[in-house]
Amino acid sequence: MVNHIVGVFPAAGGIGGSTVKHLLPRLPSSSLVFIARSPEKLKYHPLGEAVLRRADYDDDVSLQHAFDGLNTLFLISYASVEHEHRSERHRVAIDLAIRSGVKYIFYGSLGFGGKPDNNMSVAHVMQAHLDTERYLDECTHQHEGFGYTVIREGLYSESYPLYTAFFDLKHPVDEIIIPHDGSGPGIAWVKREELGEGTAELLKRFVKDPANFEYKNKKVLLSGSKTLTLEETVAILGRIAKHPVRIRQVSVDEYAKQPQLAPNFTYHGVDHSKVWATTFEAFRRGESAFVSPLLGELLGREPEDFETTISRS
């Protein structure tokens, strides 16, 4: 398709920035629009003719024309662990994108739920994603010619502090206190940079041949190629920190009272530490243990393992 314009929003975060980096060599820069609250953060890339726009999920005025002229949008989720507010912000962005003429949305979801065609999760952090996945499907019935692909981004290796009570490699503690005993099922950890690279490759394939794109109106999962239990994950962190560390299982209430949690899990004045504990129940149910071969196929190589990623970070 000639002059197929692709946008990324928000483009300056972890997944967004990595996707931008890997889109630039794959598509003409003149066909790329990068939208971010702080677009100046993207200027460390050689952007060529790519267009930068300023917009913020929480600023409706800035979103009104953020998606004008785009054919395809990669929409990355609102950065929060909330449910209703995230879902509402996603719906607003989707509605405005469709109003602006966007015909296809790739949505960056999260790797809970197990197999990518599963529509259930016990993890609180996954609920806004499930809402958004359903809403995109509804939009295909309400807007002729509209389509989507949901990319469930596996739990990225660099996010391990979220699942280890904010264990710090530079200031290691003896115990990681969580409501989980560390045993399997595990997590198919995946490098964040490779999630961006795989996403960029999916976008390129869609732009090159949208009529034959095999993931239209479907969900896909980008995961690592092997799983690690939380116990195995913590053992690796201990090796890297050169400090023995073990898991101590506690109740949800005791977990949530740890002082380092609230500053990291408070959004709009509400502490989500307790509901965050639902991620550990999701792990027990194997929701993040499903290994998909798709990322390796998109990269043309085996995804990087957890220990290598964290050792180099």
* Interval 265-311: pLDDT, tens: 999 999 999 999 999 999 999 999 999 999 999 999 999 999 999 99
Q: Write the pLDDT tens digit of every residue in 84-141.
A: 999 999 999 999 999 999 999 999 999 999 999 999 999 999 999 999 999 999 999 9
State the span(s) of the chain assigned CATH 3.90.25.10.
158-186+225-290+302-312
Which of 115, 117, 111, 199 lies closest to 157, judged by CA?
Answer: 111
pLDDT band with cut points at 50, 70 and 90 for residue 2: low
Residue extent(s) of CATH 3.40.50.720 domains in the chain: 6-154+191-222
Mean residue pLDDT of the chain comes to 96
Fold of 6-154+191-222: Rossmann fold (3.40.50)
> What is 158-186+225-290+302-312's CATH number, 3.20.20.70, 3.40.50.970, 3.90.25.10, 1.10.150.110?
3.90.25.10
Q: pLDDT of 58-69, one tens digit each?
A: 999 999 999 999
As a whole number of angstroms, the distance between CA 287 and CA 78 comes to 21
Q: Which of 288, 283, 121, 145 is nearest to 134 (CA)?
A: 121
Nearest-CA neighbor of 236 among 280, 197, 186? 186
Q: At what angle do helices 127-142 and 84-99 cross, to 10 degrees?
A: 30
Output DSSP code: residue 272.
Answer: -
pTM: 0.96
* Segment 19-38 mean pLDDT: 96
Phi and psi at residue 100, to the nearest 5°: -80, -5
Determine the length of the chain: 313
**SS3 state of residue 128:** helix
> Of 237, 166, 222, whose CA–CA distance to 189 is shortest?
222
pLDDT computed for residue 1 by the predictor: 47
The mean pLDDT value for 166-181 works out to: 97
pLDDT digits (tens, 9 = 90+) for 186-230: 999 999 999 999 999 999 999 999 999 999 999 999 999 999 999
CB 15, CB 108: distance < 8 Å? yes
Q: Mean pLDDT throughout 250-265?
A: 97
Distance (Å) of CA 174 to CA 86, 170, 247, 261 = 35, 13, 9, 17
